[in-house]
């Protein structure tokens, strides 16, 4: 994700050109995902939220008012809500980060597929936002921030349409379970007179002076949060993405080994990242993030037309903050902070991670204050980690391991007398092995983050996140002048996720094998190609299922099999005629690497 373009010029990326005169149909891009598990036979109300073409849109998000429809039942009584984000783009452009917020709460972090010139691209993503019904039940400010740049060499605009569909509840489709209150964990800042919620870090893009903060320990978001005194449970959802110099964070090396590599090979501060949540300075939980590869990553043709998994719908992370309820309900503001730490001795990271979050809060039936206490607290401030490296001639091998365990117990007594014993545990592991071979022309990473997050309330599972995120990347520079390079990626997302008792749980097993070759030349990137082979398996706690096997080779879908009771996806994967045009493509290499004199 290229987000710091105003400040960090061309060394971050490679610009390449391809003349294209071929006109066919628009290329249909998509991320493999389940269709929203919502009742298609319910009465539906579709509302246009916004329509906006993002040309030069830095610091100029779309800000609109959204009011709940009244034709699909009493606001808030819906069986579900989905968003339809449909975008077209024609030209040359980087992939851009998109942030969707409603009522000051970030509800969706997305990114844009890179467009092509000529007939351009189109994509549609249908996003289930049922868990945000407490926000959608009232009128409020809805914001889409999509900071795009138009400048010489970059002319792609993103023409967006965003709609919400509300599904009426009925005897057959009861109202969706929901929390009582959603509390934002975001900061507010003013842009052109409008108060906007925003993840920290964007600031440094807009205000160059803050670039000095590049080497501070971590990007920290600090908030004063006051919960209603009768809150009895709070589940956190976190948004976190590495962008700019942190886009390929898993390819960074520990500072102690940076000197073993030629200057300019990669960034320091190591490859491990954990997102931490602290309540009054105490660690309440941590997340080991999934490595989202954006569509301009290394070889853009590997991510077209099937984007890397998570690029359009970035995964979020879930923690149970209920053990801290006795502290948070004392009627006073408390300091909740989010940050991102590395496994370096000083826990520093590079620029930038963008983090934000929210709390889904449950209230007691009585308005009397909740009481209780934390009865056991075992959580270290940072992960336990180790790093080792070896140098054999020109070959460098580096291994970083980390683990983090959390065990917090509490008793919560609601004003009604309801008593809850809470046990929240996390056992997370991480390993990253990197090889730099053949004078650094070959760069491999083998990374796995895995873990078990479990919260029980009176013995019942309230939250579960069991995940394994294996990532293997083989990156090779294939011509001595650096004008040709290739990548092979084997990336999986295996996750059993139950975010809260009132939020739909799902099990996803996804694997993407993708790769391709890229050719840089002033006359264009003729000969560049990409393939992407995907398997996806989804099942949720209400019995919806969806499977898909879909392959693409150089813009053409070569295999597409869908199954399960949510199939087929309502989004077409291909128009009748697909443009072979590749146009000008924007590629970025790990570590800000610059090869071939670009
Ligand atoms: C999504 O929105 C686009 C643009 O408004 C529309 O053409 C398309 O039919 C919608 N798709 C679905 C599945 O609702
Ligand atoms: C794409 O943009 C180019 C240059 O602005 C223009 O000539 C062409 O007509 C556009 N194509 C479509 C399908 O709009
Ligand atoms: C948090 O709130 C308290 C009490 O209102 C105030 O003293 C403190 O300055 C606030 N802190 C921040 C970081 O806003
Ligand atoms: C909030 O917590 C963070 C993390 O412990 C700490 O660095 C910061 O000083 C605290 N801020 C306030 C206003 O207490
Ligand atoms: C290794 O790469 C560097 C930089 O590209 C180059 O200057 C050097 O000659 C290479 N060494 C060998 C042995 O190829
Ligand atoms: C995808 O499958 C095709 C057909 O079997 C194969 O040629 C290609 O190498 C595969 N791509 C990857 C990245 O594994
Ligand atoms: C790079 O790849 C292109 C396309 O496959 C090929 O035509 C060209 O000869 C290669 N360049 C070098 C220096 O190997
Ligand atoms: C992609 O291009 C590379 C380099 O030109 C070539 O070796 C490879 O066979 C091509 N792969 C496909 C699937 O076309
Ligand atoms: C699809 O991808 C799978 C996995 O790489 C591969 O085994 C299969 O041959 C591919 N099929 C086609 C038609 O590309």
What pLDDT tens digit does each residue of the chain (598 aa) get?
544 333 222 222 323 223 233 345 889 999 999 999 999 999 999 999 999 999 999 889 999 999 999 999 999 999 999 999 999 999 989 999 999 999 999 999 999 999 988 889 999 999 999 999 999 999 999 999 999 999 988 899 999 999 999 999 999 999 999 999 999 998 655 444 444 554 443 333 332 222 223 333 346 788 899 999 999 999 999 999 998 899 999 999 999 999 999 999 999 999 999 999 999 999 999 999 999 999 999 999 999 999 999 999 999 999 999 999 999 999 999 999 999 999 999 999 998 888 999 999 999 999 999 999 999 999 999 999 999 999 999 899 999 999 999 999 999 999 999 999 999 999 999 999 999 999 999 999 999 999 999 999 999 999 999 999 999 999 999 998 888 999 999 999 999 999 999 999 999 999 999 999 999 877 667 888 999 999 999 999 999 999 999 999 988 999 999 999 999 999 877 754 555 445 556 678 888 887 654 4
Q: Judge if the beta carbon of residue 282 lies within 6 A of ligand 1.
A: no
How far apart CA 47 and CA 73 sit, in angstroms, is 14
Residue 123: closest CA among 132, 114, 134, 131: 114
C-alpha dist (Å) from residue 229 to 51, 166, 183, 414, 503: 40, 32, 14, 10, 23
Give me ligand 7 centre to Cα 598, in Å: 16
Query: Which atom of ligand 3 is closest in space to residue 223's alpha carbon?
Result: 13
Closest residue by Cα to atom 2, ligand 4, is: 281
Closest residue by Cα to atom 9, ligand 3, is: 224
pLDDT computed for residue 207 by the predictor: 28
Query: Which atom of ligand 2 is closest in space to residue 155's alpha carbon?
Result: 5
Is 417 exposed, middle or buried (CB count within 10 Å of its CB: 0-12, 13-18, 19+)? exposed
Give me ligand 7 centre to Cα 261, in Å: 27
Tokens representing 449? 């983050």
pLDDT computed for residue 546 by the predictor: 98
Element (DSSP H or E) covering residue 326: helix 325-328
Tokens representing 298? 């290394």
Buried b (16+ CB within 10 A) or exposed e, 261-291: beeebbbbbbbbbbbbbbbeeebbbbbbbbb
The pocket around ligand 3, CB under 6 angstroms, is made up of 222, 224, 333
The pocket around ligand 4, CB under 6 angstroms, is made up of 222, 278, 281, 335, 337
Give me ligand 4 centre to Cα 577, in Å: 56
User: In degrees rounded to 5, what are phi and psi of residue 215?
Assistant: -105, 15
Give me ligand 7 centre to Cα 164, in Å: 47
pLDDT computed for residue 494 by the predictor: 98
Q: What is the pTM of this model?
A: 0.92
Query: Which atom of ligand 4 is closest in space to residue 224's alpha carbon?
Result: 13
Contact yes or no for 271/250 (Cβ under 8 A): yes
The 3-state secondary structure of 272-285 reads CCEEEEEECCEEEE
Give me ligand 9 centre to Cα 551, in Å: 6
Query: Which atom of ligand 3 is closest in space to residue 224's alpha carbon?
Result: 1
Closest ligand to C-alpha of residue 91 is 2
Give me ligand 7 centre to Cα 523, in Å: 12
Ligand 6 binding pocket mutation candidate from 299, 553, 558, 560 (most atoms within 8 A of CB): 553
How far apart CA 237 and CA 99 sit, in angstroms, is 15
What are the extents of the domains in the chain? 2-592
Residue 99: closest CA among 165, 197, 192: 197
Closest ligand to C-alpha of residue 221 is 4
- Classify residue 245 by its DSSP letter: G
How far apart CA 166 and CA 68 sit, in angstroms, is 9
Give me ligand 3 centre to Cα 223, in Å: 9
Closest residue by Cα to atom 3, ligand 1, is: 86
Contact yes or no for 299/516 (Cβ under 8 A): yes
pLDDT computed for residue 7 by the predictor: 27
Contact yes or no for 105/135 (Cβ under 8 A): yes
For strands 121-128 and 27-29, give the pairing.
parallel
pLDDT computed for residue 315 by the predictor: 98
Q: Judge if the beta carbon of residue 120 lies within 6 A of ligand 2.
A: yes
Closest ligand to C-alpha of residue 473 is 6
How far apart CA 413 and CA 271 sit, in angstroms, is 42
Closest residue by Cα to atom 3, ligand 8, is: 517
C-alpha dist (Å) from residue 306 to 30, 36, 120, 301, 592: 5, 19, 15, 9, 24
Closest ligand to C-alpha of residue 335 is 4
Query: Which atom of ligand 6 is closest in space to residue 490's alpha carbon?
Result: 13
Q: DSSP 3-state assignment of 258?
A: helix
The pocket around ligand 9, CB under 6 angstroms, is made up of 513, 533, 551, 558-559
Q: Judge if the beta carbon of residue 513 lies within 6 A of ligand 6.
A: yes
Edge-to-edge strand list for the sheet holding 80-89: 27-29, 121-128, 80-89, 158-167, 44-54
Ligand 7 binding pocket mutation candidate from 479, 482, 523, 585 (most atoms within 8 A of CB): 479
Give me ligand 7 centre to Cα 103, in Å: 52
H helices of 349-459, in order, are: none
Cis check for the bond before 568: say yes or no (omega within 30 of 0). Answer: yes
Q: Judge if the beta carbon of residue 124 lies within 6 A of ligand 1.
A: yes
Q: Judge if the beta carbon of residue 534 lies within 6 A of ligand 2.
A: no
How far apart CA 485 and CA 482 sit, in angstroms, is 7
How far apart CA 425 and CA 128 sit, in angstroms, is 28
């Amino acid at each position: 994700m290229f987000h710091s373009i105003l400040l960090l010029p061309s060394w971050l990326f490679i610009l390449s050109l391809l003349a294209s005169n071929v006109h066919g149909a628009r290329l249909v891009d998509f991320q493999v995902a389940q269709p929203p598990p919502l009742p298609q036979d319910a009465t539906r109300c579709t509302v246009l939220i916004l329509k906006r073409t993002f040309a030069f849109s830095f610091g100029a998000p779309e800000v609109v008012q959204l009011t709940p429809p009244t034709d699909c039942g009493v606001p808030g009584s819906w069986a579900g809500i989905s968003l339809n984000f449909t975008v077209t783009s024609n030209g040359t452009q980087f992939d851009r980060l998109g942030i969707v917020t409603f009522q000051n709460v970030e509800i969706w972090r997305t990114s844009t597929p890179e467009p092509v010139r000529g007939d351009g691209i189109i994509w549609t993503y249908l996003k289930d936002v049922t868990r945000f019904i407490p926000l959608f039940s009232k009128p409020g400010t809805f914001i889409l921030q999509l900071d795009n740049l138009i400048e010489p060499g970059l002319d792609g605009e993103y023409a967006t349409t965003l709609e919400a569909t509300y599904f009426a509840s009925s005897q057959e489709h009861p109202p969706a379970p929901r929390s009582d209150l959603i509390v934002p964990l975001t900061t507010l800042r003013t842009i052109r007179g409008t108060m906007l919620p925003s993840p920290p870090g964007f600031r440094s893009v807009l205000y160059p002076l803050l670039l000095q903060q590049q080497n501070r320990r971590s990007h920290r978001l600090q908030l004063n949060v006051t919960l209603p005194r009768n809150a009895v449970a709070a589940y956190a959802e976190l948004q976190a993405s590495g962008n700019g110099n942190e886009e390929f964070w898993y390819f960074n090396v520990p500072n102690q080994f940076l000197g073993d590599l030629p200057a300019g090979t990669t960034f320091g501060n190591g490859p491990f990242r954990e997102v931490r949540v602290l309540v009054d300075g105490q660690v309440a939980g941590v997340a080991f993030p999934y490595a989202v590869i954006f569509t301009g990553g290394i070889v853009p043709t590997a991510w077209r037309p099937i984007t890397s998994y998570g690029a359009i719908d970035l995964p979020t992370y879930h923690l149970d903050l209920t053990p801290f309820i006795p502290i948070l309900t004392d009627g006073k503001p408390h300091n909740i902070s989010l940050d991102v730490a590395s496994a370096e001795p000083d826990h520093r990271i590079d620029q930038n991670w963008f983090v934000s979050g929210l709390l889904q809060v449950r209230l007691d039936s009585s308005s009397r204050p909740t009481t209780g206490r934390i009865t056991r607290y075992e959580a270290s401030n940072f992960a336990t980690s180790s790093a080792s490296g070896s140098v054999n001639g020109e070959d460098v091998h580096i291994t970083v391991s980390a683990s983090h365990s959390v065990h917090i117990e509490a008793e919560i007594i609601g004003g009604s007398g309801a008593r809850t014993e809470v046990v929240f545990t996390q056992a997370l592991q991480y390993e990253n092995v990197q090889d730099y071979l053949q004078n650094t022309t070959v760069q491999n990473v083998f990374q796995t983050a895995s873990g078990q997050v479990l919260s029980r309330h009176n013995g019942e599972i309230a939250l579960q996140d069991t995940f394994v995120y294996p990532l293997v990347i083989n990156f090779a520079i294939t011509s001595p002048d650096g004008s040709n390079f290739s990548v092979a990626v084997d990336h999986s997302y295996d996750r059993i996720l139950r975010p809260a008792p009132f939020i739909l749980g799902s099990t996803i097993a996804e694997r993407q094998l993708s790769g391709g070759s890229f050719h840089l030349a002033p006359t264009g990137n003729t000969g560049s190609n990409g393939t992407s082979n995907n398997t996806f398996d989804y099942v949720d706690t209400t019995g919806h299922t969806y499977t898909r096997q879909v392959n693409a080779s150089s813009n053409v879908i070569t295999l597409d099999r869908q199954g399960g009771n949510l199939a087929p996806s309502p989004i077409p994967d291909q128009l009748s005629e697909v443009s072979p045009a590749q146009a000008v493509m924007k590629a970025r290499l790990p570590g800000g690497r610059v090869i071939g004199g670009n």
